[in-house]
Amino acid sequence: MKYFMGIDIGSSAAKGVLIDETGAIVSRALLPSGLNFKESAERLKAELIAGYPPAKESQIFICATGYGRAQAAAQMTKTEIACHARAAWAEFPAGGTVVDIGGQDAKIISLGQDGKVLDFKMNRSCAAGTGSFLEELSRRAGLDLAALPRLARESQNDLHLNSFCTVFAASELISLAREGAKVPDLVKAAYKAVVERVRELAPLRAPLIFSGGVIFYHPMIGELLAAGKDYTILKDAQFCGALGAALFARSGQNL
């Protein structure tokens, strides 16, 4: 039996997926990327195999993606765009618009029915519209990041953040809180700020396919982005980059 591993070394988290010859996922792993991407990749490989012992003595072909892909000691590397598109196409062969919001960037990918990337837009110039934006705002406001989805659901008033920059937006949130704004309303305003930044990248045409950890953990962002359009949050949203890489590894072996 052959197995295929996809490794996604992102800016904040390292994700891994191990699949078998049929393409079925047999093991997943997630850990902080840290500063040593090579070490993170090796730890990830070990965890994936530990999660599925039958693969230990088998041949494993590896494809890596993400910021640290060059240091992952893989037989193949692919871009994040290609891997997110490949994972989305596996679930949605009719194509659509793939939206991935990561820790440091946001991507909008136009996916064709043949699985090819027709076009894409990506924002790397600013943390606004990414996971680090929410992390910084929650830190500055003294809020638990994991509590944000619940708080946003409790919002009863619409607030708007005028600041584009993460630092200024955090200061604006604190000022609004001092003026009496409720915490749930402030959280929803932060979500809306992420949505505005993503929408600036490119038009969002249905069907919308959402991937990445940010929308996985903060599904209201997906709802706000869709604005009534048909959308789906991928089943393995947080692991889409790694899953796409694993599928490339499998096709690279002509199976």
- The string of pLDDT tens digits covering residues 61-112 is 999 998 889 888 899 999 999 999 999 999 999 999 999 998 778 899 999 9
**φ, ψ (nearest 5 deg) of residue 40:** -60, -40
Tally of domains in the chain: 1
Does residue 115 sit within a domain?
no
Does residue 9 sit within a domain?
yes
Segment of 116-125, 134-143, 168-177, 193-202 carrying the highest mean pLDDT: 193-202
Sheet of strand 231-233: strand arrangement: 117-123, 106-111, 96-101, 208-211, 231-233
First to last CA, the chain: 12
Does residue 41 sit within a domain?
yes
Please write the tens of the pLDDT for every residue from 171-210: 788 888 889 999 999 999 999 989 998 998 998 988 999 9
Residue ranges making up the domain that contains 16: 2-80+239-252
Q: Are 225 and 195 in contact (CB under 8 A)?
A: yes
Q: Are 249 and 91 in contact (CB under 8 A)?
A: no
Q: Select from 225, 199, 196, 197 the least CA-distant residue to 210.
A: 225
Does residue 88 sit within a domain?
no
Rg over CA atoms, the chain: 19
Element housing 131 (H / E) = helix 131-141
Does residue 170 sit within a domain?
no
